[in-house]
Structure 1
Amino acid sequence: MSSRQLLYRVLYRIGFAPWDGHPLAKSLQTLVEGDSHTPPLQPGTALDVGCGTGDNSIYLAKHGWQVTGVDFVATALDKARAKAAAENVDIRFEQADVTRLSEYGIGSGFELIVDNGCLHGMNADDRRSYVREVTAAAAPGARLLLVEFLRGTIFGVPGINPDEVETLFATDWKMLSSGPEPAEARKGQQPARFYVFERDS
């Protein structure tokens, strides 16, 4: 077990999960529902990596997506399953390491992959493994949404800057858009940035 995994398991166990329960990322809503500049995505299969207690997964399921949520913390997944049951949505939640998705049989061909605050907490080696696994799980033409803290903006989180994200996804992916995640959607949390990629066909 990595130090990152141990930390999150301890934090969930003691009930300290300040990232839980925040409003959905505006970038996720725009991607899924569209806006005046962008049409909505047609629902299909979605993978929510580092899904935590399932808020993004539940949102996607309510919008017609067939969702698989993945996290390595059992406590978070138990809460996610309870939330999904209360909302009467059917979601597949699996305990797995996002840097080893293929070993856990998570599957492939996902048309949308969502990461709200997973990649920014990893070290360099884990990030490379993450990109390999996410790429293998994605369907040709899939969309990938990342919402990540910048480096140096929050204590205890490595963070990741735009140039690092672009370098990691320079092969097999094309960036469609990126920008600051609106602060009001994060209850005043430290600056985050969103990135939308498209998997090469």
Structure 2
Amino acid sequence: MSSRQRLFRWLYRLGFTPWDGHPLAQSLTNLVEGGTLTPTTALDLGCGTGDNAVYLARHGWHVTGVDYIDKPLAKARAKAGGLPVVFAKADVTQLSSSGVGAGFGLIIDSGCLHGMSAADRDAYVAEVSAVAAPGALLLIVAFIPGGMTGVPGIGFEEVQRRFSAGWTLLSSGDEPAMDHNGANVARFYQFVRNF
């Protein structure tokens, strides 16, 4: 078990989960409600208690939400009710061997990548690429370095560099839903899979 996994298990055990219950990312709602996407399959990386996955399912997507901690997955399943969502225990650095499937048309990450070590980020990019369908959209919402205490963050140049092979950046910008005391501490990145 990695130190990252131990930390999050401990925080969930304590009930200290400030990332739960925040508003949905505006970049996600703009993408889903913009009228240009046909709902297919979606993968919610680091889904936590399932807010994004449930939102997508309510908009017609067949969603798989993954997290590596049981407690938030149980809460997510309760929220989903009868919606077309599967919540699975899986590590985002090992997706292709976890049995969650592949060929996802939309992959979202709202707060997962920005907390990882460099080695985990390498594995994450490889695994996200392995489970994406050709032409898949990837939406990442991440804190910038120094944007939030306790979160390493990730900068624009690093995100662009890490996804330079096999992905094209379509758009990026400040994420207003994550505004913190008037500071733009988060960015969104929307990519498309090239093949």
The verdict on a shared fold, with TM-score over 0.5 as the criterion, is yes
Give CA deviations for 1:88-135 in whole Å, capped at 9, x if unaligned: 413100001000011111111000000000000001110010000000
Counterpart pick for 2:96 among 84, 99, 102: 102
Q: Distance in 1 between matches of 2:78 and 2:170?
A: 35
Distance 2:47 2:6 in 1: 17
Q: Which residue of 2 aligns with 1:53?
A: 49
Q: In the alignment, is residue 21 of structure 1 matched against residue 25 of structure 2?
A: no
**Alignment of 1:5 onto 2:5:** yes
Supply the RMSD in Å over aligned alpha carbons: 1.1
Deviation of 1:187 after TM superposition, in Å, equals: 6.2
CA distance in 1: counterparts of 2:24 and 2:151, whole angstroms: 20
State the match for 1:40 in structure 2: 36
Which residue of structure 1 aligns with residue 141 of structure 2?
147
Unaligned runs of 5+ in 1: none
Choose which of 76, 80, 89 in structure 1 pairs with 2:72. Answer: 76
Q: Matched residues in 1 for 2:79 and 2:116: separation? A: 27
Q: Does the 8 Å contact 2:61/2:84 carry over to 1?
A: no
**Matches of 1:19 and 1:197, distance apart in 2:** 24
TM-score (norm 1): 0.93
Which ranges of structure 2 fall in alignment gaps of 5 or more residues? none
Aligned length, in residue pairs: 193
* Runs of 4+ more than 4 Å apart: none
**What is the letter of the counterpart of residue 180 of structure 2?**
G
TM value normalised by structure 2? 0.96
Query: Quick one: percent identity of the two aligned structures?
Result: 61
Whole-angstrom distance in 1 between the partners of 2:179 and 2:48 = 18
Give 1:91's aligned residue: 85
